């Protein structure tokens, strides 16, 4: 079977007849590549999340985020920390590689990331993701009405660097309970439970989600009692980042009637926090991830209540505001994350490219037609010259025939698109007429 081989001359002829199309395509690609370098950079494919201790609520949720983000091509590193204060300090540190943190609302100034206002920093809230109530457990023989009644008692407020410790210290301080008049220790959750049950401490403070396994276990222990806040309005006026929650009677266990009465709790909200420089596409993806993890119904929140930005400490990220006002970007609603991001990055190139290409497209056909016909017309000029020399008898008929044959050979090698074959055949017919005239005069 014979194979057709494209010769170099054929390639040159193809380029010669289509040079404008090649020019437009090459120019468009060049401009696209050059401009693409100056478009907002692609979102990073790696993300570091500072969580809390492992095991722990923040670490548990960070692992859930990692699973979802990795489905979208984002490799996640989870950094184990002491808790909210260390998380915020890492995020505030410009030399830290931490990109996103889970942190308890209202503890930014306790972490030392700002002195007066959260706007002093470049930290930005992505969204609040769930309530994290303050639970105060005591032995049944230690009833107390308000936190001020804990003066002189032995208390454990959580590990140093944790949000639990920071919130408990601050609330106790304003209630007149300090290290000078009481004994305050910093035990882990597990050690605090053991110390409480053994009588080594009188009360233990925890900040945790309602679904935390150790909270469920503590509520089920009859020898422990959960404190119900009696001064909720006063605390809400002083601590604007807290929300009042009611733990209804029997909600944890209907069969065993746990708790045996309505409990009034105060709760900060856990917030996803980042720097203002985090790529917008990742902000959207993190909000969607938070909605998948925290958007369900539980004993404190309704379906779809989280994520939100109702009571955030740090200003919302610019893209967060856009998300909660308009929803996710159109493309990210229907396309895989990386495809949507690629299209979103390149769409801003369309206008300048169209501005350049549309005028070129309008002149492509006329210029292309002229380019093809030019290859025919140039041989017409040679034919006309032979015809003129014949009339003026400048060359012999033999010389004219030789010139005509050379011209004919070149014309036979000429290839044009089918639409222009008629003009080529017309040229060939013209050459035949000239040859007949030469031969007639030769006789």
Buried-state track 255-287, b at ≥16 Cβ within 10 A, e below 16 = eeebbeeebebbbbbbbbbbbeebbbbbbbbbb
| Region for 183 from its dihedrals, namely left if φ exceeds 0, alpha if ψ lies in -120 to 50, beta otherwise | beta
Between helices 350-392 and 421-442, what is the axis angle to 10°?
Answer: 10
Closest CA to 29 of 356, 340, 339: 356
Q: Say what the pLDDT of residue 273 is.
A: 96
**Cα distance between residue 101 and residue 47, in whole Å:** 11
Tens digit of each residue's pLDDT (9 = 90 or more) over 272-305: 999 999 988 889 899 999 999 999 888 898 998 9
Give the rounded percent of residues in the chain with a pLDDT score beyond 90. 34
Per-residue pLDDT, averaged over 154-171, amounts to: 89
Tens digit of each residue's pLDDT (9 = 90 or more) over 189-228: 888 888 988 889 999 999 988 878 788 888 888 788 999 9
Q: Three-class SS of residue 93?
A: coil
Q: Say what the pLDDT of residue 1 is.
A: 44
Higher pLDDT, 435 or 348: 435
- Length, in residues, of the chain: 443
Bridge partners of residue 226, in order along the sequence: 137
Q: Say what the pLDDT of residue 154 is.
A: 93
The mean of the pLDDT values for the chain is: 83
Q: Say what the pLDDT of residue 248 is.
A: 92
Give the torsion sign (CA, 358, 359, 360, 364).
Answer: positive
**Cα distance between residue 155 and residue 168, in whole Å:** 10
**Strand 75-79 to strand 203-207: parallel, antiparallel, or no bridges (unpaired)?**
unpaired
What angle (nearest 5°) sits at the alpha carbon of residue 87, between those of residues 82 and 92?
Answer: 145
Give the torsion sign (CA, 63, 65, 68, 71).
Answer: negative
Token pair of 27, please? 């120019």
**Cα distance between residue 201 and residue 183, in whole Å:** 9
Q: Say what the pLDDT of residue 265 is.
A: 95
pLDDT at 2 over 50: no
Residue-by-residue DSSP string for 162-191 = SHHHHHHHHHHHHTT--TTTSEEE---HHH
Q: Say what the pLDDT of residue 275 is.
A: 95
Higher pLDDT, 16 or 47: 47
Q: Say what the pLDDT of residue 381 is.
A: 83
Confidence category of residue 117, pLDDT binned at 50, 70, 90:
confident
Q: Say what the pLDDT of residue 96 is.
A: 93
User: Which of 23-27, 44-48, 349-353 is predicted with the least confidence, judged by mean pLDDT?
Assistant: 349-353
270 and 242 Cβ atoms separated by less than 8 Å: no
Tens digit of each residue's pLDDT (9 = 90 or more) over 335-354: 666 666 666 656 666 666 66
Q: Say what the pLDDT of residue 99 is.
A: 95
pTM (two decimals): 0.69
Confidence category of residue 95, pLDDT binned at 50, 70, 90:
very high
pLDDT at 12 over 60: no
pLDDT at 15 over 60: no
Q: Say what the pLDDT of residue 286 is.
A: 94
Tens digit of each residue's pLDDT (9 = 90 or more) over 375-397: 777 877 887 887 787 777 777 77
Q: Say what the pLDDT of residue 151 is.
A: 93
What angle (nearest 5°) sits at the alpha carbon of residue 183, between those of residues 181 and 186?
Answer: 140
Q: Three-class SS of residue 280?
A: helix
């Amino acid at each position: 079977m014979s194979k057709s081989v494209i010769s170099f001359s054929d390639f040159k002829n193809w380029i010669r007849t289509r040079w404008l199309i090649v020019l437009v395509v090459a120019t468009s690609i060049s401009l696209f590549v050059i401009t693409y370098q100056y478009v907002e950079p692609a979102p990073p494919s790696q993300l570091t999340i500072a969580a809390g201790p492992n095991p722990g609520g923040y670490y548990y949720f960070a692992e859930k985020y990692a699973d979802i983000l990795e489905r979208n091509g984002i490799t996640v590193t989870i950094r184990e920390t002491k808790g909210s204060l260390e998380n915020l300090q890492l995020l505030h540190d410009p030399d830290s590689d931490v990109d996103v943190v889970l942190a308890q609302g209202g503890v930014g100034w306790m972490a030392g990331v700002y002195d007066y206002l959260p706007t002093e920093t470049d930290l930005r809230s992505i969204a609040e993701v769930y309530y994290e109530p303050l639970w105060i457990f005591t032995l049944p023989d230690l009833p107390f009405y308000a936190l001020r009644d804990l003066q002189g008692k032995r208390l454990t407020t959580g590990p140093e660097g944790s949000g639990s410790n920071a919130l408990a210290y601050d609330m106790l301080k304003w209630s007149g309970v300090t290290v000078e008049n009481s004994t305050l220790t910093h035990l882990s959750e597990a050690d605090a439970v053991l110390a409480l049950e053994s009588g080594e401490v009188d009360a233990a403070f925890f900040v945790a989600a309602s679904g935390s396994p150790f909270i469920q276990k503590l509520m089920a222990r009859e020898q422990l009692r959960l404190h119900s806040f009696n001064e909720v309005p006063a605390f809400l006026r002083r601590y604007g980042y807290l929300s009042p929650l009611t733990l209804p009677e029997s909600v944890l266990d209907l069969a065993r009637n746990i708790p045996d009465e309505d409990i009034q709790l105060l709760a900060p909200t856990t917030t996803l926090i980042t720097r203002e420089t985090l790529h917008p596409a990742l902000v959207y993806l993190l909000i969607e991830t938070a909605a998948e993890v925290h958007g369900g119904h539980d004993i404190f929140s309704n379906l779809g209540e989280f994520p939100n930005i109702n009571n955030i400490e740090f200003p919302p990220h610019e893209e967060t505001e856009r998300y909660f006002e308009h929803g996710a970007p159109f493309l990210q609603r229907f396309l895989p994350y990386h495809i949507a991001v690629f299209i979103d990055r390149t769409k801003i190139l369309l206008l300048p490219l169209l501005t350049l290409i549309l005028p070129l497209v309008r002149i492509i056909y006329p210029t292309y037609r002229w380019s093809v016909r030019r290859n025919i017309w140039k041989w017409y000029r040679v034919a006309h010259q032979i015809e003129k020399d014949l009339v003026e008898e400048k060359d012999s008929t033999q010389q004219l025939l030789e010139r005509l044959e050379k011209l004919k050979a070149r014309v036979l090698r000429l290839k044009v698109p089918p639409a222009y074959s008629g003009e080529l055949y017309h040229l060939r017919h013209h050459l035949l007429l000239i040859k007949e005239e030469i031969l007639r005069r030769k006789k």
